[in-house]
């Protein structure tokens, strides 16, 4: 193989040091890096790892466009448990990362998520989901409109029937720092990262295993196991082995704005019944987001901003819900992508039922950052042991797609 130092891309070598690896991970953003890091944590994994990332800057990855928040308000027990582990990891990140004093101590800024229901049907969904959350030990409260107004007098709740909020381990966390340290420690522990792209995947003659991958630069790399952690490009990656994956890139628009009259208390991440959401950002600034009424799949390279949606939908919705936000100034705006699992809005992870060394890590539908500690750990467990050692993540396996058996998550933003 050519020298790994001969060519570089944004600080990564372009060419791998070896022509064979025990594990190849396609995608080096937060899911791929979490998996790589957790493999290095395992006392029972002694193999070689290659992470192939087409854009080492991560500028267009979902990881770079996230709200960076975590919540326990899900409708399925497994998703609640996943977030609870994530919260524990975040709040103890230095200890979790070996006591490395370079790693900062982090805490979740628990301003909470506040779901607002304006119909009896959605109110019933909040009640049902709260029962699931409380059974897991979450601190979710249900609030009448009057109770919301008493606690948060700045809201207009004239149309609201019920609210749901949890102020324990729900809110903002520094996902960029956790990602950075997963990647940095993984590299320090011997994981090879390259700035390249997988353009083809080769199977054995029987089609029962992946033999290797071909890089855009022409090299062919053999592998023992292959992980698809390619975010919004997941369906393209799966198509290379003839698998139809129900994952689509969906645009999600974000804005940071400054209010002329800031709220004098923390603003929960407020999910309006319209789907528009807004949260505390600090210093009299706030972050909000949403999407168009028609939410089509888009090209993975389409990051064009829809400027009309702010004026026609987002700002009017926010100003109606929080009248203090009648006078605001947009500071920044951007477009990102959800890796939307259009089948049931849940992750698709684990092995392919017929191509056993092809492992999915896809379709997080906007939950990826907060689920990355548990999902990376679980994927590393599967790669090492062929089974999960902590949380049983098998309900997310690909078989449910084949069997048309959705594992539905209702709490989607």
E-only strand ranges, 62-148: 69-70, 113-117, 141-144
Could you identify the residue written with the tokens 């944590």?
41
C-alpha distances in angstroms, 17 versus 28, 57, 161, 187, 267? Answer: 17, 21, 60, 13, 49
Give pLDDT tens digits for 187-246.
999 999 999 999 999 999 999 999 999 999 999 999 999 999 999 999 999 999 999 999
Distance CA(271)–CA(51), nearest Å, equals 36
Q: What pLDDT was estimated at residue 108?
A: 97
Assign 180 a pLDDT band (cuts: 50, 70, 90). very high
Of 133, 157, 136, nearest in space to 146 by CA: 157
Q: What pLDDT was estimated at residue 10?
A: 63
- Answer whether 94's CB lies under 8 Å from 42's CB: no
Mean of pLDDT values over 281-304:
93
pTM of the entire predicted model? 0.95
Distance CA(355)–CA(232), nearest Å, equals 22
| Lowest-confidence region among 55-64, 165-174, 310-319, 361-370 | 55-64
Sign of CA pseudo-dihedral 232, 233, 238, 239: positive
pLDDT of residue 1 exceeding 60, the answer is: no
Average pLDDT, the chain: 95
CA angle (46, 48, 52) in 5-degree steps: 145
Percent of the chain whose predicted confidence (pLDDT) is above 70: 97
Q: What pLDDT was estimated at residue 59?
A: 84
Assign 7 a pLDDT band (cuts: 50, 70, 90). low
Mean of pLDDT values over 19-32:
97
Distance CA(354)–CA(71), nearest Å, equals 35
- Answer whether 235's CB lies under 8 Å from 50's CB: no
* Residue 326 tokens, joined: 């009648």
* Residue 232 tokens, joined: 């919004």
Assign 6 a pLDDT band (cuts: 50, 70, 90). very low
More confident residue, 5 or 328: 328
Distance CA(314)–CA(25), nearest Å, equals 37
- Answer whether 92's CB lies under 8 Å from 186's CB: no
Percent of the chain whose predicted confidence (pLDDT) is above 90: 90
């Amino acid at each position: 193989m050519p020298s790994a130092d001969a060519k570089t891309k944004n600080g990564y070598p372009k060419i791998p040091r070896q022509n064979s690896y025990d594990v190849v991970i396609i995608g080096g953003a937060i899911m791929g890096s979490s998996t790589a890091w957790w493999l290095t944590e395992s006392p029972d994994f002694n193999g070689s790892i290659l992470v192939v990332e087409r854009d080492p800057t991560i500028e267009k990855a979902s990881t770079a466009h996230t709200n960076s928040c975590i919540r326990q308000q899900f409708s399925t027990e497994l998703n609640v448990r996943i977030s609870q582990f994530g919260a524990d990891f975040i709040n103890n990140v230095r200890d979790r990362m070996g006591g490395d004093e370079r790693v900062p101590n982090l805490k979740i800024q628990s301003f909470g998520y506040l779901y607002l229901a304006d119909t009896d049907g959605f109110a019933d969904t909040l009640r049902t989901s709260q029962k699931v959350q409380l059974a897991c030990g979450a601190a979710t409260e249900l609030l009448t409109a009057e109770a919301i107004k008493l606690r948060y007098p700045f809201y207009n709740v004239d149309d609201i029937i019920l609210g749901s909020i949890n102020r324990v381990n729900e809110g903002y966390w520094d996902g960029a720092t956790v990602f950075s340290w997963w990647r940095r420690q993984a590299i320090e522990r011997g994981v090879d990262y390259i700035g390249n792209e997988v353009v083809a995947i080769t199977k054995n003659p029987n089609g029962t295993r992946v033999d290797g991958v071909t890089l855009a630069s022409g090299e062919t790399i053999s592998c023992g196991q292959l992980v698809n952690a390619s975010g919004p490009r997941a369906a393209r990656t799966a198509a290379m082995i003839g698998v139809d994956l129900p994952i689509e890139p969906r645009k999600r628009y974000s804005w940071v704005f400054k209010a002329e009259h800031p709220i004098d208390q923390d603003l929960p991440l407020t999910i309006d019944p319209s789907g528009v959401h807004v949260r505390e950002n600090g210093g009299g600034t706030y972050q909000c987001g949403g999407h168009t009424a028609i939410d089509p799949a888009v090209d993975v390279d389409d990051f064009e901003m829809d400027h009309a949606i702010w004026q026609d939908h987002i700002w009017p919705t926010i100003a109606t819900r929080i009248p203090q936000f009648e006078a605001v100034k947009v500071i920044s705006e951007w477009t990102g992508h959800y890796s939307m699992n259009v089948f049931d809005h849940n992750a698709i992870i684990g092995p392919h039922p017929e191509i056993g060394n092809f492992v999915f890590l896809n379709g997080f539908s906007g939950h990826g950052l907060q689920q990355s500690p548990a999902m990376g750990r679980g994927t590393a467990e599967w790669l090492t042991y062929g089974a999960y050692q902590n949380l049983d993540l098998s309900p997310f396996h690909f078989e449910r797609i084949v069997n048309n058996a959705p594992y539905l998550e209702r709490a989607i933003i």
